[in-house]
Structure 1
Amino acid sequence: MAVVCSKGDWFVCSCSTSLVAINLKQTREPFVFDCAKAKKRPKEAEGGNTSSEGGPEGIDSDRILAFAVSASGKHVALTDDHKRLVLFCTEPSWQCISTRWVVRRCTSLVFTQAEDEVFVADKSGDVYTFSVLEPQKPGELKLGHLSMLLAVTLSTDDKYIITADRDEKIRVSFRRAPYNIQAFCLGHREFVSALLVPAGHPDLLLSGSGDGTMKVWHYETGRRLQSFDVRQLGILQTSDADTEKRFAVSRIISSPDGRHVAVQCERFPSVQLFLVDAGTEGCLNPAETLALPLAPWDMTFDAQNQLWLLLESEDVNVLLYRYSEQHWKLCDTETPELKRATKALQAQWNVFKGFVGLESQFKHLYKVNFDNMASYLQKKQERLEQENKKRAAAKGTKHNIDGKRSKKEGNPVSQMTS
């Protein structure tokens, strides 16, 4: 699975073990960081530690699990399957400033607006913070869920930590006192896979789920404002909408000006756009559906509010859309920024090609339904049939015994002999 983000002049994407940063304004070599060549965990720190998923540390891969870019674009953090947390600064040039280790494999990262900490959510349900200002300082446990965490974000004033888990819960906690819970946002029927506090609307939270819906919340009160079923918005093709195929909202992003929201469903070749109402509730109105030639891996808005889509194709690996005259229009392939990104990604395509057409990353997160009633009725029917056979056999045996006894009692020879 490839992930992409655009901040400032940089177009950053990750796939497999590599992080690739492309400068969109200057023609220069991209910055490439390969986790397979990164600093290894000291042996004295490993001890007899084993991974939470049941294997020894030595068999962990170096695949990147999540990365995040700070609001200013000056810092980037990534975490991989070997439980590294790598911190970069991007100015005046890209540089790795620390490598630390997390306790469990991580699923989501987010920087504070102040860029003094990075929050890390992991598969065991815990959230840790790591200092940016003290890049060698160990992490600090902040809060925990009883279920695997899939997403973490922060309010725009850094007051609240917002976490989402496999068991459909969205929890809003105070950052300075995480044991105090402000609210729960409840209503999804499957795991919550995406969270976003949209730009320009600090009171709103958008969430996406494996139930195929996106919901809008006033997160301080836990009040649900809107709910959209993507099946009804044209994001799925008619042939797909008629099946029982599961799908999940994998990405929700907003433009820097706060006017647009884009929603992506995993493994489907389309993106749904919304316009954000300027009213006090800041509610969303469905706008266009972009039909794509291939399912996108990921998407991002840049500083100019343009929409970038990363596709699973070497020939056409990036599409760029610009909002003009009330519509989203596909940019020409000769656009300088697009040419730089396309050329750089083609040169690095060996990193991406192994992830084309992979199965859903959410496949094992869906609830499994068991039809206990059908099994019960079947066993009951079998039990009744066996009892009926036993009764019939017993009745037949009794009939034979009575018949023999009657014959014996009615035989004259037998009576004279006796």
Structure 2
Amino acid sequence: MAAIGVCKQWTFLSCGTKLIAAHVKRESEPFVFDCSTAEKKDKQPQSDNSLAEETGSDEVLAFTISPSGKLVALIDDSKRLVLFRCEHSWECVSTRWLVRRGTSLVFTRAEDEVLVADKSGDVYSFSVVDQERDGELKMGHLSMVLAVTMSLNDKYIITADRDEKIRVSHLRSPYNIQSFCLGHQQFVSSLVVPSSHPNWLLSGSGDGTMKLWEYTSGKKLHSWDLKELQETFGSHSEKTPTVCQISSSPDGCHVAVLCDRVSIIQFFTLDEDGEEKKLVPHSRLTLPCCPLDMTFDPEGRLWVLMDSCEELLQIYKLEQSSWKCEADSAEVKRASEAFKPHWQNLNASSGTSSRFEHLYKVTFDNVTDYLEKKQQRLEEQQKRKNTGQKEGDKKKAKKDLLGSVTALSSIN
């Protein structure tokens, strides 16, 4: 899955099986890590009746950058967790193995652990200090965990799953659940704690809404329906847009929201007026094609990864209440030159199938089907009844006519 990340003077791109780090402040060779040539897991001996070991495609599924920008971790389709550290340049420091394929990961603020959620609904903790230690099971959901994040004080771990639930648990004792944030109607795909409001949580979902929570109590503060993005862009699709990415600026003043296969980025601000806390629409950014990912850099600029090899990256800076493209940015040019030789079309453009489609639950309206069949049966019964009445009337008329003829004959 294609994704972008920025920390200090480095910009990262995951593309296919590769993670590339480009230095954007000076000319230098990029750091490239290819999962297809990475360390392989030793195969365990199998009994005659055991199933063959499942193999992965080595595609990078997700990566995350630590708060200080000195650590990066990735998970891939072959169930690897790879940890990188930057001293003078980036290097791989450990490779460990997951029980199931990962879906999301995050560093603690203290950068002593990296938490990895997987497709079975479990969350494991991997030590950053002891890089040989296996993962420790922290908690589990009953369905696939799609997003995981941390509170800014490392007290809570916040997880979201396919069953519309957001769970707030104590990091050191995850069996102690602080709260649930309930209200989404589809899977929850994105979670963000804004730096300006450490007790607030932003969540995005497949139901096309972004919600604002006070997560320690589970109270919903505000909700915003993003369906109008499709209407504004002129899309006639009847499908609800999927919120695939929420990104908050370093100062927490601005929030950018990206919907899957929609060429518009919606910006919000967080407003607190007494007891009323809400999302306030700020501006919209219309792009030439559907973006694949976005992120804010430490300077508050928005980096956008485009589904176009010719114009792979764009930077937008807030100027006079609107976001302007820095077309001549030297940083964009250096990063693009480093990334383009490794770029692959991952079929993530707006014209291809969505990577979220399999997450929507299939519902069956048996009541409507039953009522339609019942109505058909009633109409058929009524039709047979009407036909029977007509036949009876005909027989009666014929009988009366014969009786009249017989009576006349007897008189004559």
Q: Give, in angstroms, the shift of residue 183 of structure 1.
A: 0.6
Look up the match of 1:16. 16
Map of 1:2-13 to 2, 5 A cutoff? 2-13=2-13
Bigger CA drift: 214-223 or 7-16? 7-16
Look up the match of 1:108. 104
Call closer, same or farther: CA 1:180–1:49 in 2, change over 3 Å: farther
Look up the match of 1:298. 293
> Contact 2:224/2:279 (CA < 8 Å) preserved in 1?
no
> Contact 2:223/2:279 (CA < 8 Å) preserved in 1?
no
1:164 maps onto 2:160 in alignment: yes
Look up the match of 1:237. 232
> Contact 1:230/1:236 (CA < 8 Å) preserved in 2?
no
Map of 1:169-208 to 2, 5 A cutoff? 169-208=165-204
State the AA in 2 paired with 1:21: A
Report the Cα distance in structure 2 between the residues aligned to 1:238 and 1:170, rounded to whole angstroms. 30
Q: Give, in angstroms, the shift of residue 231 of structure 1.
A: 2.5
Report the Cα distance in structure 2 between the residues aligned to 1:126 and 1:108, rounded to whole angstroms. 11
> Contact 1:236/1:270 (CA < 8 Å) preserved in 2?
no
State the AA in 2 paired with 1:30: P
Q: Deviations over 1:265-322 (max 9, x none)?
A: 0111010111233767764321110000001000011111110100000111111111
Q: Give, in angstroms, the shift of residue 149 of structure 1.
A: 0.8
1:87 maps onto 2:83 in alignment: yes
Map of 1:13-412 to 2, 5 A cutoff? 13-44=13-44, 56-232=52-228, 234=229, 236-240=231-235, 242-277=236-271, 283-333=278-328, 335-349=329-343, 351-352=344-345, 355-356=348-349, 357-381=351-375, 383-384=377-378
Report the Cα distance in structure 2 between the residues aligned to 1:84 and 1:45, rounded to whole angstroms. 20
Report the Cα distance in structure 1 between the residues aligned to 2:36 and 2:383, rounded to whole angstroms. 68
Q: Give, in angstroms, the shift of residue 384 of structure 1.
A: 4.9
Call closer, same or farther: CA 1:382–1:275 in 2, change over 3 Å: closer
> Contact 1:190/1:209 (CA < 8 Å) preserved in 2?
yes
The answer for unaligned runs of 5 or more in structure 2 is 399-412
Report the Cα distance in structure 1 between the residues aligned to 2:265 and 2:347, rounded to whole angstroms. 24
The answer for unaligned runs of 5 or more in structure 1 is 404-418
State the AA in 2 paired with 1:378: E
> Contact 1:107/1:150 (CA < 8 Å) preserved in 2?
yes
Q: Deviations over 1:21-63 (max 9, x none)?
A: 111111111111111111111113888999xxxx853442111
Call closer, same or farther: CA 1:46–1:307 in 2, change over 3 Å: farther
Q: Secondary structure at the match of 1:237?
A: helix
Aligned positions, number: 395
Q: Secondary structure at the match of 2:36?
A: helix
State the AA in 2 paired with 1:40: K
Call closer, same or farther: CA 1:278–1:166 in 2, change over 3 Å: same
Bigger CA drift: 207-216 or 275-284? 275-284
Call closer, same or farther: CA 1:56–1:283 in 2, change over 3 Å: farther
Report the Cα distance in structure 2 between the residues aligned to 1:231 and 1:130, rounded to whole angstroms. 39
Report the Cα distance in structure 2 between the residues aligned to 1:61 and 1:353, rounded to whole angstroms. 13
**Structure-1-length-normalised TM-score:** 0.87
Question: Identity across aligned pairs (percent)?
Answer: 53
**Structure-2-length-normalised TM-score:** 0.88
Report the Cα distance in structure 1 between the residues aligned to 2:330 and 2:113, rounded to whole angstroms. 35
Report the Cα distance in structure 1 between the residues aligned to 2:233 and 2:30, rounded to whole angstroms. 40
